[in-house]
Structure 1
Amino acid sequence: MAKETRGRMVDAAVGALRRRGLQGMSFTDVLERSGAARGAIYHHFPGGKSQLAAEAATQHGREVRDRLAGLGGATPQGVAAAFVEFARPVAEAAAQGSGCAVAAVTVPADEEDGELCRAAAAAFASWTEALAGALRQAGLAPADAEEKAALLVALLEGAQVLCRASGGTEPFERAVRAALGLFPES
């Protein structure tokens, strides 16, 4: 039961980070959405908000990495196109005010030890490696696969910010048109 409560709290924190960012994430919201008792906060997260946010970003990072690792395509452009289809709903959600739970923890106002940025950096690195692996399998040379994978991750994260700011998905679509031309068809 305790593990279940903890998991619900982390899931609720992911949602709060996506909706409100780190500064807007509150324990009240996490408790309300998870159904956990107030005493569960420091029982499960003795490090407080930073620990909860780091674990939420890490979990969300793993979930995205696992989905990216499952992308496939017979060609590098096929992998990029599969990535675009994965990312399109994310851009649509961003246009409606949602954000990335991992990116949200990179903007801490008062973090001194860098735990949150390390968690985000590890998640982003795992996404890049998952995409690079798919691109290598589709025939790209390792160095080119790494560079193009980094481009796709940057496209995803940057497009979310631009889509959220504009309230539409045109920034994402423009970036996709520019990026897809960089991927070989065979």
Structure 2
Amino acid sequence: MSNDTKARMIDAAIDALQRRGVAGMSFTEILDASGAARGAIYHHFPGGKGELVAEAATRNGQDVRAHMAALPGTTPAAIVDNFLAAVRPVVAASAGGGGCAVAAITVEPDGDALRTIADTAFTSWTTALAERLGATGVEPAEAADLATALIGLLEGAHILCRAAGTLEPFERTARAATELIRSRYPHQKQSR
């Protein structure tokens, strides 16, 4: 039961980070959303808000990495198509005021430890995506470059879509990425 309470608090913190960032996140909000008692805060997170934020961002980073590592596809285009399909609903949430919980921790003043957590998460996403692309025959350096571009597309789309209040910036970027990958690998059968 105790671990369930902690997991619910971390889930609530991820959601709060996505919507308001670290500065806008409050313990009251976390307690209300998770159904946890006030004493649960320092029981599960004796380091306070900083510890809760760090655990939430770390877990969110690990969850996204697992999704990246499991992307289906046997061609570079299929991996890119499936990546775009997987992130589209997440970016759509940005158009409605959401965002990336991991990106949210990068803007904290005096947040060197949090930036390290974000860097670890982004690096793991890029590595997992590069490994999936490499499994389709893309050379390792090119796979790393392409994976980095796709993660940059994702994170940039969060910002642009949130600012615009629409998914259109993502859709334009997704079309461009799709065309680029198809022109780069025209000889490969396009399959999902």
TM-score scaled by structure 2? 0.93
Question: Residue 109 of structure 1: CA displacement?
Answer: 3.0
Q: Is 1:28 aligned with 2:28?
A: yes
Cα displacement string for residues 107-130 of structure 1 (whole angstroms, at most 9, x for unaligned residues): 11343xx11111111111110011
- Give the counterpart letter for 1:138 in structure 2: T
Distance 1:110 1:65 in 2: 26
Question: Residue 181 of structure 1: CA displacement?
Answer: 2.5
Q: Is 1:77 aligned with 2:77?
A: yes
Q: Choose the corresponding residue for 1:149, options 147, 150, 161.
A: 147
The match for 2:13 is 13
Distance 2:70 2:148 in 1: 17
- Give the counterpart letter for 1:35 in structure 2: G
Q: Is 1:116 aligned with 2:117?
A: no
Secondary structure, aligned partner of 1:77:
helix
Q: Is 1:128 aligned with 2:126?
A: yes
Identity %, equivalent residues: 54
1:163-174 equivalent positions in 2, closer than 5 A: 163-174=161-172
Distance 1:61 1:2 in 2: 23
Distance 2:160 2:88 in 1: 13
Secondary structure, aligned partner of 2:64:
helix
Question: Residue 29 of structure 1: CA displacement?
Answer: 0.3
Distance 2:159 2:75 in 1: 29
Distance 1:55 1:115 in 2: 12
Secondary structure, aligned partner of 1:116:
helix
Cα displacement string for residues 41-66 of structure 1 (whole angstroms, at most 9, x for unaligned residues): 11111111111111101111111111
Distance 1:97 1:144 in 2: 34
Structure 1, unaligned stretches of length 5 or more? none
The match for 1:89 is 89
The match for 2:173 is 175
Distance 2:180 2:127 in 1: 19
Distance 2:14 2:66 in 1: 16
Distance 2:6 2:92 in 1: 29
- Give the counterpart letter for 2:115 in structure 1: C
Equivalenced residues, count? 184
1:33-48 equivalent positions in 2, closer than 5 A: 33-48=33-48
Secondary structure, aligned partner of 1:182:
helix
